[in-house]
Amino acid sequence: MSDEEYGALRAGASLWAGASVLITDVRGRVLVQHVDYRDTCLLPGGAVDKGESPSTAASREMREELGVAMTVERGLAVDWVSAESVDAPPVMRFNGEILHVYDGGTWDAERIAAIRLPEHEVESIEFAEPARLPDLMSARDARRALSALRARIDGAGPVFLENGLPLSPTALDRAAVLRTPRARHHFPFHSGPAPAELRVCQAWGWLLAPDGRVLVLLEPDTGAACLPGGTPEPQDGGDFVATLRREVHEEAASSFGEPEFLGYLSDPEEPCARVRYAAALTGIGPAGVDPATGRTYTRVLATPEQAVELFDWGPPAEAQLAAVHRARERLGIPRAGRRPVTELPAPATWWSALPG
């Protein structure tokens, strides 16, 4: 094959390239743009110009679309989009597309207020609950955005996608977390004991593995995340630690040592207290069906910070997280560095392999 023939072959097989940026607010909602040229929303971003790198394109698009100067440094996903997956007229068909998704970070109110939209193209922006992305975006764009968001939470590095789906699904992908709306629990956190006049309606636990990660349960039918725990029952005799032990056994087939009381959450709309504890996990057995719900939860270990990213707890989450770390230190458990979320297998022998 001559150089000319080889060049023509490469040109004929060329791919379209694009870059986008995933930005969240402090509640974990995703920034999407309403644009004037299509009826579905997009992440900030666009096409990579000739001779331009994808990261440079992402930074340029941030200036053009949001009026923000920033350099993207962390990739979240690379997506191969097949020509067949794009609903376009034949005259606009192409051989395929490679889309790069970068991490734009978490923006506070001040940074969001600095956004300046252009006169054309971007009509408005909003921060959307992750579960709303399939309603706001095209199916392929929503798959890509959710896969990138899960990769950011998981922290294992960039993921490779095909038509928005990961080639090597993580525990978060397999459970399809964030596909349903997170319960909005912006309840104030109080570090002291619950007032005697408040009925305790819930006892949950931050159960720490020897490596500093915590046990999180994922509902099999919704992908919703929760901490182990539940509602006091008459058989608990008013002992809320007994409530927690019973619920942890039923939901997660697990046990824990002497707990540390963290505090309680107050619900402005319901006069009750939701108490929180921290304790060291002491054992994990084979997963079973929760008699109260009929579900077999997916059990994962995540850092406390990763766990909070799976909830919509609002500003009070910061105070509760600080209380967890103070208790962790008192329990003599190390702080977990960010690492991929791990699904717990059934064999109890795995437990002995944890560091710490």
According to the model, what pLDDT value does residue 262 have? 98
pLDDT value at 24 more than 70: yes
According to the model, what pLDDT value does residue 14 have? 64
Q: Are 308 and 181 in contact (CB under 8 A)?
A: no
Q: How far is CA 227 from CA 167, 169, 320, in A?
A: 29, 23, 13
For 71-100, the pLDDT digits (tens) are 998 999 999 988 766 665 666 556 778 999
Of the candidates 110, 143, 149, the one whose C-alpha atom is nearest the C-alpha of residue 31 is 149
Strands 254-256 and 229-230: unpaired
In which band, very low, low, confident or very high, does the pLDDT at 194 lie, cut at 50, 70 and 90?
very high
Average pLDDT over residues 297-317: 95
According to the model, what pLDDT value does residue 348 have? 47
pLDDT value at 285 more than 50: yes
pTM (two decimals): 0.91
Both tokens of 186, joined, read 């912006």
pLDDT value at 150 more than 70: yes
According to the model, what pLDDT value does residue 80 have? 93
pLDDT value at 349 more than 60: no
Both tokens of 159, joined, read 């993921």
Of the candidates 6, 132, 148, 135, the one whose C-alpha atom is nearest the C-alpha of residue 78 is 148
What CA–CA distance (Å, rounded) separates 317 from 328?
Answer: 16
